[in-house]
Structure formats: C-alpha cells, structure tokens
C-alpha cells in the first residue's frame, strides 16, 4: 500500500505529527523508529527494581504555552512538580540556579534581594549584548560565581569553553535575587502522571497510525511507498553527510539501584568541579514513587561518534554555519519535511518541539485523498 505520510522517528516531533495528520486529516501514517520503543529521548520505563527512570537523561517537562498544554493534556493527566536541583562544589551542596539562598551561602551571612542586587551590580562585567555563554553569565553575576558553577560544568558537558558556545546555552539557567529555588521559570512544570511512554502510546493509538520499531529508515525506505516524508532524525545523516558530519555531544548513562529510600537530597545534583560526570539524577524525588529502594543515574558527557546517540546539537557559530548548508538543501528537498531537534539541529526543549510540530501539521501540503 501507499502511505500518505512516512514519518521517521517516534519522538515528540514524529508522534505529534502522526497524531495530528491521522486524526485531523484522516491520513494514513507509518511511523518508523530504529529504537525498540516509542517516545524518542523522552521515553521512560520501570527498571528491573521497579523504579521509574528516564534512561536518556532527565526530562523535566515545562512550558509557558497554553496551546502545548492543551494539546498534550488530551493524552495524559499531569503530576505537578517544582523541579529542584542542587550543585555540589567545595565540599557542600548549594541551591541552584543561583538565588538569594545561594548568595547567602556564598557570602556566609544573611542578605536581602536589594543587597544581593547591589553586590552583583558591582561584580558583574558590563556587557550590553553578551555574545557567548561566558559573557551571558559574567554580565549577570561576575566571575567568581561563574567560575564556581558554570565554567567547568560547561567545559565538561560540551568539551568547549563557554566562550565558544551561544549565549542561549548557559542563558537557559535563570538567575534570581529572590528565594525562588525552582530549576525552571516556566508557569507549567509537570510530568505526565503515568509517564511519557504511556502518553506516547495514547498519541499513537489512532487506527490510521502504524508504528514499526527496530526499523531504520535507511534500510526500510526502498520497500516502502509513500506520498510525503516527515524526517525527524539527524539532518546530516539524511544527506549522507555530504557537507561533512555535523558535531554533536553524546552521553553515557550509568544507573545504580541502592537499598535506601533516597540517596541524595534532591532530584538532581550537579557536579561542576568534581568527578567525570556532570550530574546525578534521582527521579523518585520528582515522580513521588514510594519504594524502599531507589535508582540513581550518573551522566557522563562523551564525544559523539557514529554508533552513539547524537544527544545534543552544538549551539555554536561554527556548527550552525555548517548546519546552514544542510538547511539550504533541506529547503529545496521536494516531498520532505524536516522537523524536531535533530532534523533542524536545534537545542530544543520538548515543548518547543511539540509547538513546532503542531505548526508544521497546519502547514503540510494537502495530499490527494487527504
Ligand atoms: P528525538 O526524541 O531524538 O526523536 C527522534 C527519533 O528518531 C529517535 O527515537 C530516533 O531513534 C529516531 N530516528 C532517527 N533516525 C532514524 C532513522 N534513520 N530511522 C528510524 N528512526 C530514526 N527537554 C525538555 O523539555 N526538558 C528536559 O528536561 C530535557 N532534558 C533533556 C535531557 C537530555 C539528556 C537530552 C538529550 C534532551 C533533553 N531534552 C529536554 C530535550 C528533549 O529530549 C527533546 O526536545 C525532544 O525529545 C526532541 O524530540 P524529537 O522528536 O525532535 O527527537
Ligand atoms: N550549566 C552549568 N552548570 C550547571 C548547570 C548547567 O554550567 O550546574 C550550563 C551547561 O553549559 C549546560 C547548560 O547550562 O549545558 C544548560 O543546562 P541544563 O541543565 O538546562 O542542560 P540540559 O538538561 O539541556 O542538559
């Protein structure tokens, strides 16, 4: 048979598009993923100890978009969480992102929002338009706090100095002079109540959608007939790396189950200046699962090589320039839509991918028989 849409990737980008096209247009969609599960990097599962884990790194859903909340709420109830993260350095835990409590710990005595703002005003480096991730932090808090929390974490995570990364990388992290110690600013912060995998299963349950797992598009395509392709994999791979391999950052996850109710005092502890790993995630703090044991996952950044997962596009001018050559080719590739974090080479959060997939769904050409 001829599919209306062949969709490569069952992550947020592919699943939202399959759902929209099937339920709004009655289109017949075939979704392929080379992994053995749906959900892309947002996939979650119970490990062998029965603890709900995010095997591809912690996925804290948050958004300011009413459209995205309303859309996803068709497929899940929510478990509201204020995500809280600590940073471990100089032998102690610090509240992170930087807020008034962190500042008090730093100066060693109680303070006020006004006093903190006045101190930062003196220590910050005056830069009107920060051009990179070093400048975006030193222009807000000055060098000592930058060096304590950002410099080495960023080098470890990206194997690049913050000065070589876009301002948006470290600029993702809020800096506050009040006592708000939540990791994120967004108004809606919640996890799907029954997990991401269950939410994706509902999205893809439409009778017009077929999902084939452990199926690589590059091998399956010659046997498939379709009218339009939606591609959410790495864009350089689609074009056989004709302009060279794009740079990505990869990760290695090391899970450990421990016979204690909780191992650490928060859902996530960051290690800017100690260890080869960047963070230790104990998701139980966020899911609220009640169990006498726990699972933690240590996250080690590593260089990307074919065969590893390309977790992060590199938000930097040189990588973007290389990507722009692929983007030019993608713009004239007939019958194909490129969407999602890897296909558009953007450091997108989940809600941004959902929003862009919803927008694409409205723009896609009407196929004959649609
Ligand atoms: P993906 O989820 O990567 O899905 C693409 C899918 O395509 C994959 O399943 C892949 O197997 C498949 N695929 C690729 N090529 C082929 C092929 N040739 N054939 C078949 N299948 C193929 N966002 C947040 O909002 N909050 C967070 O806290 C957060 N934390 C993150 C932590 C980490 C460690 C990472 C890596 C990302 C995090 N994100 C977070 C971002 C989030 O993962 C992405 O925004 C979102 O999952 C992107 O969805 P996607 O569909 O574009 O891509
Ligand atoms: N970052 C840092 N120190 C921290 C946490 C984050 O320097 O303790 C920087 C680092 O460059 C990181 C970026 O801020 O890549 C964004 O952090 P976030 O936790 O949002 O990263 P993600 O969850 O996307 O990996």
Mean pLDDT score of the chain: 97
157 in the same domain as 103: yes
What residues form DSSP beta bridges with 211?
31
Query: Is the pLDDT confidence value at 38 over 80?
Result: yes
216 in the same domain as 114: no
pLDDT of residue 242: 98
321 in the same domain as 241: yes
Does any domain span residue 90?
no
Residue written as tokens 């999902």? 211
146 in the same domain as 30: no
pLDDT tens sequence across 185-228? 999 999 999 999 999 999 999 999 999 999 999 999 999 999 99
> Would you say the CB of residue 60 lies under 6 angstroms from ligand 2?
no
CATH classification at residue 6: 3.40.50.720
Query: Is the pLDDT confidence value at 102 over 90?
Result: yes
353 in the same domain as 237: yes
337 in the same domain as 219: yes
| Closest atom of ligand 2 relative to the 279 alpha carbon | 8
Query: Is the pLDDT confidence value at 271 over 80?
Result: yes
> Would you say the CB of residue 337 lies under 6 angstroms from ligand 2?
no
pLDDT of residue 369: 59
- Give residue 25 CA to ligand 1 midpoint distance, Å: 25
143 in the same domain as 10: no
The pTM for the full model equals 0.98
Q: In this predicted structure, which of 89-93, 105-109, 166-170, 361-365 has the lowest mean pLDDT?
A: 361-365
Does any domain span residue 192?
no
209 in the same domain as 116: no
Does any domain span residue 320?
yes
Does any domain span residue 194?
no
- 8 A C-beta contact, residue 60 and residue 41: no
pLDDT tens sequence across 311-367? 999 999 999 999 999 999 999 999 999 999 999 999 999 999 999 999 999 999 778
> Would you say the CB of residue 169 lies under 6 angstroms from ligand 2?
yes
210 in the same domain as 162: no
User: Span 32-58, mean pLDDT?
Assistant: 98
Does any domain span residue 233?
yes
26 is in which domain, residue-wise?
Answer: 2-38+204-247+313-363
- Give residue 157 CA to ligand 2 midpoint distance, Å: 8
- 8 A C-beta contact, residue 233 and residue 8: yes
340 in the same domain as 232: yes
- 8 A C-beta contact, residue 233 and residue 337: no
- Give residue 140 CA to ligand 2 midpoint distance, Å: 16
Question: What is the pLDDT confidence band of residue 101, given thresholds at 50, 70 and 90?
Answer: very high
Residue with CA at minimum distance from ligand 2 atom 11: 154
**Whose atoms come closest to the Cα of 297: which ligand?**
1
Last residue of a domain, one of 171, 193, 227: 171
Ligand 2 pocket check: which of 153, 165, 279 to mutate, most ligand atoms within 8 Å of Cβ?
153
Does any domain span residue 116?
yes
Query: Is the pLDDT confidence value at 238 over 90?
Result: yes
352 in the same domain as 215: yes
> Would you say the CB of residue 15 lies under 6 angstroms from ligand 2?
no
Does any domain span residue 295?
no
pLDDT tens sequence across 60-77? 999 999 999 999 999 999
User: Using H for helix, E for strand and C for coil, what is the string for the chain?
Assistant: CEEEEEEECCCHHHHHHHHHHHHHHCCCEEEECCCCCCCHHHCCEECCCCCEECCCCCCCCEECCHHHHHHHCCCCCEEECCCCEEEEECCEEEEECCCHHHHHHHHCCCCCHHHHHHHHHHHCCCCCCCCCHHHHHHHHHCHHHHHHHHHHHHHHHHCCCHHHCCHHHHCCCCCCCCCCCCCCCCCEEEEECCCHHHHHHHHCCCCCEEEECCCCHHHHHHHCEEEEEEECCCHHHHCCCCCCCCCEEEEEEEEEEECCCCCCCCCEEECCCCCCCCEEECCHHHHCCCCCCEEEEEEEEEECCECECCCEECCCHHHHHHHHHHHHHHHCCCCEEECCCCCCCCCCCHHHHHHHHHHHHHHCCCCCCC
pLDDT of residue 30: 98
Does any domain span residue 351?
yes
Number of domains the chain is built from: 2
Percent of the chain topping pLDDT 70: 99
348 in the same domain as 216: yes
pLDDT of residue 247: 98
Task: Please classify residue 298 by burial: count the beta carbons closer than 10 Å to its beta carbon, then call 0-12 exposed, 13-18 middle and 19+ buried.
Answer: middle
């Amino acid at each position: 048979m001829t599919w209306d849409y062949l969709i490569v990737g069952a992550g947020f980008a592919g699943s939202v598009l399959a759902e929209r096209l099937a339920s709004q247009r009655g289109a017949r969609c075939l979704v392929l993923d080379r992994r053995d599960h749906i959900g892309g990097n947002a996939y979650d599962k119970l490990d062998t100890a029965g603890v709900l884990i995010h095997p591809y790194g912690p996925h804290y859903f948050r958004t300011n978009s009413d459209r995205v909340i309303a859309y996803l709420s068709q497929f899940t109830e929510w478990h509201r969480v204020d995500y809280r993260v600590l940073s471990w350095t100089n032998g102690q835990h610090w509240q992170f992102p930087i807020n008034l409590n962190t500042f008090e710990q730093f100066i060693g005595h109680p303070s006020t929002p006004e006093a903190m703002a006045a101190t930062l005003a003196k220590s910050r480096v005056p830069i009107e338009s920060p051009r990179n991730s070093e400048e975006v932090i030193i222009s807000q808090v000055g060098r000592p706090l930058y060096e304590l929390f950002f410099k080495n974490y960023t080098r470890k995570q990206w194997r690049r100095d913050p000065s070589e990364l876009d301002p948006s990388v470290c600029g993702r992290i809020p800096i506050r002079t009040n006592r708000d110690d939540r990791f994120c600013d967004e108004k809606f912060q919640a996890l799907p109540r029954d997990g991401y995998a269950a939410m994706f299963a509902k999205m893809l349950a439409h009778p017009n959608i077929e999902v084939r797992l452990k199926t690589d598009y590059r091998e399956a395509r010659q046997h498939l007939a379709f009218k339009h392709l939606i591609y959410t994999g790495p864009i350089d791979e689609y074009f056989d790396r004709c302009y060279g391999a794009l740079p990505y950052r990869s990760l290695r996850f090391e899970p450990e189950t421990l016979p204690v109710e909780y191992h650490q005092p928060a859902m996530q502890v960051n290690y800017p200046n100690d260890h080869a790993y960047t963070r230790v995630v104990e998701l139980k703090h966020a899911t609220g699962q009640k169990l006498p044991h726990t699972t933690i996952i240590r996250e080690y950044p590593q260089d990307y090589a074919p065969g590893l997962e390309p977790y992060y596009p590199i938000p930097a001018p040189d990588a973007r320039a290389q990507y722009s050559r692929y983007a030019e080719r993608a713009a004239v590739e007939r019958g194909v839509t490129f969407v999602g974090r890897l296909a558009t080479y953007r450091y997108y959060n989940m809600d941004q991918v959902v929003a862009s997939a919803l927008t694409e769904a409205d723009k896609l050409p009407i196929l004959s028989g649609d």
